[in-house]
Structure 1
Amino acid sequence: MTSSNLKWWQSGIIYQIYPRSFQDSSGDGVGDLKGITSRLDYLSSLGIQAIWLSPIFPSPMKDFGYDVADYKDVDPLFGNLADFDELVQQAHARGLKVMLDFVPNHSSDLHPWFVEARSSRDNPKRDWYMWRDPAPDGGVPNNWKSFFGGDAWTFDEVTGQYYLHQFVSEQPELNWANPEVRQEMADTVRFWMRRGVDGFRVDVIWLLGKDPEYRDEPRNPEWRPEHPLHNSLEHIYTQDLPITHEYIRELRAALDEFDDRMMVGEIYLPIERLLPYAGTPDAPECHLPFNFHLILTPWNAADVRKLVDEYDAAVTQAGSWPNWVLGNHDQHRFATRVGRAQYRVAQTLLLTLRGTPTVYYGDEIGMEDGHIPPDCIVDPAALNQPEVAATAGRDPERTPMQWDATPYGGFMKSAADEQVEPWLPLAENFTAVNVAAQEKDPASDLNYFRALTRLRGESAALVHGTYRSLNAGEGALMQSGPGSLTGGSYQNVQAGSGVFAFLRESDGERVLVLLNFGADDVQLSLPELEGAALLLSSMGDGSAETLRGNEAQLWRVG
């Protein structure tokens, strides 16, 4: 495989935008489509290939757009269809693809479909959702739990039945066993692709199938009261059911009616259960089953290296394409998780591994979690679960983009109504950590990000080359397997030092990536680096003799 054989979603970098928080053009405190369009030149400068927009559909915003009231329009909060068309046109003119967040598992309770469905038991839309009679004692039909706390059932007084919702009660679950629902979802993706949309990130795609018998789920013996209630069960009847793969294949067929489109599936599963969501050549499913394991793995060289080795080998065996992500709208900022000292090591890892990286807005400037005072919390995952709000709450990673040091951080201009504030408070460090300041500093995180993406774009080895890690063993870091570097050449890189090293290779080009997960300097003795070219160091300069604490280095080796 060569770079020219790759699709855009394989060779490029995907950049996630949370529209509420990216750029407000109207002064109402909420980001919008015109705001995103105004920042397309900046986005182009990052060396990315595609932008993915979190939901922009009409919504009561009980879960900030993930409760959809109309799948084929734009919420006035963000603009209108004409604004969207302009965004797509302007993005395409700059060579940027546009992806939408698609939410087919559940709708808003204000969607006309659900309004009809709850009007009577014999309404034609009734079976578009999931209803059950009360238990014999009048309680909930089974023990299924919501991700946001409490039971996954709400009683409807009008019709005397419960409806299912695995998130807030205003998000009733659509019944994917109904072919009319599946046809409507396929028509929805066709609608947006006709408007030029290049791909979709599909929300909670592994939840589409449900047990038709609605059986109780078994208890999770490892659950503790300090954990979210949802984790108290083993979700064998609400997640990863075999029928889900059939549903996804139907949806994929609709995408394949159009040229060069793609689908990313949100899936939180172990690797062995994640990879089947790519399907097979004869029965394709998701182009990229989202791989969240880099977010969930302890941040040390040994655990990260083990993950990368296992995932890369599994993807290769499956004949699919890898992908990596360090942060998103549901996970705390990676600069906060790994710490400032390790920020560039993590950024380097993400952008040099084999596969498609997805980056989250603001991560290119090192944005960290914002502090959200209790009276500013708006996320239902935190409001509904106060006992685990510190870990379950998602507001800290959704704070407004930090463009400059002006009072609103450049996210919004002074509002006509001076009482208007951004929908979430800006992170406290926005006056120091912002785009404007980093544009002027050649050594900034922003310009390091650009250096990485530029290097990646120019290197066949980094775009499509093979991956091979270097083993730590017997006190030495040495490459294993055929075609290895000179045996013992890594003799002074001590096992347990916290160094993760790997090679990317393609048609004679070899890029060596050295990542020091520790704070101590590591002395190198690498004959292969004699005459090699230092491509990039996270600290500006670099030495073939020393890998400094918290340093990342990239070398072109012979």
Structure 2
Amino acid sequence: MTDSLSDQTDSENFTAPWWTRAVVYQVYPRSFADSDGDGVGDLNGIRSQLDYLADLGVDVVWLSPVYPSPQHDNGYDIRDYEDIDPVFGSLSDFDELVAQAHQRGIRVVMDLVVNHTSDEHDWFRESRSSIDNPKRDWYWWRKPREDGSAPNGWTSAFSGPAWTLDETTGEYYLHLFAKQQPDLNWENAEVRQAVYAMMRRWLDRGVDGFRMDVINLIAKRTELIDGPQRGSGDGFEMGPQIHAFLKEMHQEVFAGRDGTYLTVGEMPGVSIDDAALFTDPTQHEVDMVFQFEHVSLDQGEHKFDPIPLDLVALKTSLARWQEGLAETGWNSLYLNNHDQPRLVSRFGNDREYRYESATLWALVLHLHRGTPYIYQGEEIGMTNVRFESIEHYRDIESLNHYREAVDEFDQAPSSVLEAVHAMGRDNARTPMQWDSSEQAGFTTGTPWIGVNPNYVEINAEADRASGTSVFAFYQRLIKLRHENETVALGGFELLEPSHPTLYAFFRTSPSERLLVVANVSDEPFLGELPLDVGSAELLLGNYPVNGDAALRPWEARLYRL
């Protein structure tokens, strides 16, 4: 790590934006570190672990929402954009966290959730109070159809219809997520200006950018709402207004500032062509996007229908995005976040080869071209949790799916629970495992969600003391990105695209060529590598060097050719 933020800007070897060689660490505040013993993580808990994050070497900390919220969707239902929820602390706690992060050369990025608010937000309270309230048009209200049904057949991401009838005025309001999360109407210029003013105040407070939650959903396909056929089904995302909205946001919020901010837009359903346009620096929209193609490949008809990993499909998908954004735009690199199962359980072997598969995927992901994102606990190889009963789960998506599958579709509770074990979001939300003490060192109280019972063996203290430390491997990867221009900016070429277990690719620059080879399998790879590496320099690997060209189970190597 460098000593100050100013040291992280362009050097003589890097003329690209600072975030091309940065690594982002996502903190889920409820589950990271609890400073006051109430069982919920908080800002002072995060502050207490800043040295841990500085030691890891990350450049940015992204905080999932810490605003006041009724917590129907764990903070993604925001009651007040201008404050901190008391469960996390206060604005002064936030200011101190930002100041101390900056002292360590770490930027702080906030979650921006402006597709929807909480139904307890003052804006929505006013909007629902009467049909002639000045804020009525700040949300999407529509009269029932002649038969009393909803305006169209859109469904919520959390099961059930996306429209709820409000008894106060007898009209439906739109919510693409939970009914407690009404969608803002971005067609209304007053809504947009209120959001921009809020964003400017956070930047003025010292925040270094925003991760923008489902930001492409702010532009609705209005013809599907108001058309003569009252459109049904999907198709609400990526309305034609989205580019104008994001350009306006950039002009109103970021233009004229010093250019050191990070903006990343979470965009379900975004295509490569869309992403290239969104992230084209000449367009002034966002720096990078989160896309979902690669984390949907192990799902059947829906999210809770898990299927085995098809490595060929995963390689093909990631390589398409590497190629598609090679000349214009930028990739965000992730396999874990607060909405995804734990990487080592999902795509690796979290039993016999937990260290090896955790570090294999780390090497593979961080050697792609783009900005890597580490989700809390990923850097120590945390795994999925298997709670014995649905009563131990907290996530609204999993709970709604279980209820619907069991009660409405008569599926066996045991099979539904197995799907939740595999794909549920609470896998990523169990408390951070700091040590082997009670509650994994996360809290002195009762945690808001149960700690994964394997914390006694898998925790940060034990991992860092081990001769096979996942944390130490991540440190080396981050250092490589900071120091090696080919890792940060080099070209990408996939090798052996149809091989079922070998993941191999080149990274190239005018000065060097790097080769990554990885055996995504419980069995040794006995075939030939894409080229002779006998005279190559081994820069990094997750096994002790043995001079053998054969790759051991879940072995990954990085060579300089």
- TM-score strictly above 0.5: yes
Q: CA deviation at 1:531?
A: 3.4
Give the SS at the match of 2:337.
coil
Matches within 5 A, 1:377-456: 377-386=393-402, 387=405, 390-391=419-420, 393-413=424-444, 415=445, 421-456=446-481
Q: Secondary structure at the match of 2:325?
A: helix
One-letter identity of the residue aligned with 1:550: W
What one-letter code is carried by the residue in structure 2 that aligns with 1:385? H
Kept in 2: contact 1:499–1:517 (CA 8 A): yes
Letter in 2 for 1:360: Y
Aligned residue for 1:355? 370
Deviation at 1:502, TM superposition (A): 1.4
User: Within 5 A, what are the aligned runs for 1:98-497?
Assistant: 98-215=108-225, 234-236=233-235, 238-253=236-251, 254-259=253-258, 260-269=260-269, 271-276=271-276, 278=278, 280-297=280-297, 299-317=309-327, 319-340=328-349, 341=353, 342-372=357-387, 373-386=389-402, 387=405, 390-391=419-420, 393-413=424-444, 415=445, 421-471=446-496, 496=499
For residue 262 of structure 1, report the CA deviation from its aligned partner: 2.2
Cα distance in 2 for partners of 1:302, 1:525 equals 17
Taking a change above 3 Å as real, the CA distance of residues 233 and 333 of structure 1, as seen in their structure-2 partners, is farther
Instruction: Give the letter for the 1:244 counterpart.
Output: I
- Counterpart contact for 2:26–2:375, Cα < 8 Å: yes
Q: Does 1:504 align with 2:529?
A: no
Q: Which residues of structure 1 form unaligned runs of 5+?
A: 220-231, 416-420, 473-494
> How many angstroms apart in 2 are the aligned matches of 1:141 and 1:165?
12
Partner of 2:557: 553
Q: Is the 8 A contact 2:323 2:492 kept in 1?
A: no
Deviation at 1:516, TM superposition (A): 1.1
Cα separation, 1, equivalents of 2:385 and 2:254: 37
Any conservation in 1 of the 2:481–2:487 contact (CA below 8 Å)?
yes
Whole-Å separation in 2 of the counterparts to 1:527 and 1:15: 35
Residues 300, 498 of structure 1: 8 Å contact kept = no
Aligned to 1:489: none
Deviation at 1:527, TM superposition (A): 7.3
Task: Give the 5 Å matches for 1:509-520.
Answer: 509-518=512-521, 519-520=523-524
SS in 2 for 1:553: strand
Q: Could you tell me how far apart the structure 2 residues matched to 1:175 and 1:132 are?
A: 12
Q: 1:556 to 1:300 in 2, by over 3 A?
A: farther
Shift of 1:272: 3.1
Question: 1:542 and 1:355, CA in 2 relative to 1: closer, same or farther beyond 3 A?
Answer: farther
Q: Is the 8 A contact 1:443 1:540 kept in 2?
A: no
Change (3 A) 1:100 1:209: same
Gap change, CA 1:514 and 1:234, over 3 Å in 2: farther
How much does 1:34 deviate? 0.3
The residue type equivalent to 1:504 in the other structure is R
Contact 2:340 2:424 in 1 (8 A): no
Deviation at 1:443, TM superposition (A): 1.5
1:291 is displaced (CA, Å) by 3.1
Alignment of 1:10-21 (within 5 A): 10-21=20-31
Give the distance between the partners of 2:148 and 2:292, measured in 1 at CA. 40
Pick closer, same or farther for the CA change 1:308–1:375 going to 2, 3 Å: closer
Root-mean-square deviation (CA), in Å?
A: 2.4
Counterpart of 2:152, as a letter, is: N
The match for 2:304 is none
Cα distance change, pair 369–247 in 1 and its aligned pair in 2 (3 A): same
Range moving further from structure 2, 181-190 or 208-217: 208-217
2:348 and 2:187 mapped to 1: Cα distance? Answer: 45
CA displacement at 1:214 relative to structure 2: 4.2
Counterpart contact for 2:73–2:395, Cα < 8 Å? yes
Please tell me whether the aligned partners of residues 469 and 503 of structure 1 are also in contact (alpha carbons under 8 angstroms).
yes
Q: Do the aligned residues in 1 keep the contact of 2:70 with 2:79 (CA within 8 Å)?
A: yes
Q: Once structures 1 and 2 are overlaid, which stretch shifts more, 24-33 or 531-540?
A: 531-540
Query: Residues of 2 paired with 1:463 and 1:92: CA distance?
Result: 23
Query: What are structure 2's unaligned runs of at least 5 residues?
Result: 1-9, 299-308, 406-415
Tell whether the 8 Å contact from 2:312 to 2:500 is kept in structure 1 after alignment.
Answer: no
Displacement after TM superposition at 1:104 (Å): 0.4
The CA deviation at 1:277 is 5.1
**Aligned-partner Cα distance in 1 for 2:469–2:28:** 23
Deviation for aligned residue 1:95: 0.6
Q: Measure, in 1, the Cα distance between the counterparts of 2:531 and 2:293.
A: 34
**How far apart in 1 are the matches of 2:242 and 2:370?**
25
Q: 2:541 aligns with which of 523, 530, 537?
A: 537
Q: Secondary structure at the match of 1:408?
A: helix
Which residue identity is paired with 1:333?
R
**Separation in 2 of the partners of 1:465 and 1:52?**
26
The answer to whether the 8 A contact 2:272-2:325 is kept is: no
1:522 paired with 2:526, answer yes
CA displacement, residues 289-346 of structure 1 (integer Å, 9 cap, x when unaligned): 11333323454543233223321111024x1112211011111111110122333221
Say if 1:190 and 1:527 are closer, same or farther in 2 by CA, change over 3 A.
Answer: closer
Cα distance, 1:276 vs. partner? Answer: 4.5
- Local SS of the residue matching 1:512: strand
* Distance (whole Å) between structure 2 residues aligned to residue 454 and residue 280 of structure 1: 27
TM-score where L is the length of structure 2:
0.87
CA deviations on 1:354-379 (whole Å, 9 max, x unpaired) are 11111111001111112233222221
Q: 1:214 to 1:69 in 2, by over 3 A?
A: same
Question: How far apart, in 1, do the equivalents of 2:433 and 2:91 lie?
Answer: 27
Q: CA 1:351–1:327 in 2, change beyond 3 Å: closer, same or farther?
A: same
TM, length-normalised to structure 1:
0.87
Q: Structure 1, residues 437-474: CA drift from partner, whole Å, max 9, x if none? A: 111113222222222222333322112122122246xx
1:23 alignment counterpart: 33
444-453 or 344-353, which deviates more: 444-453
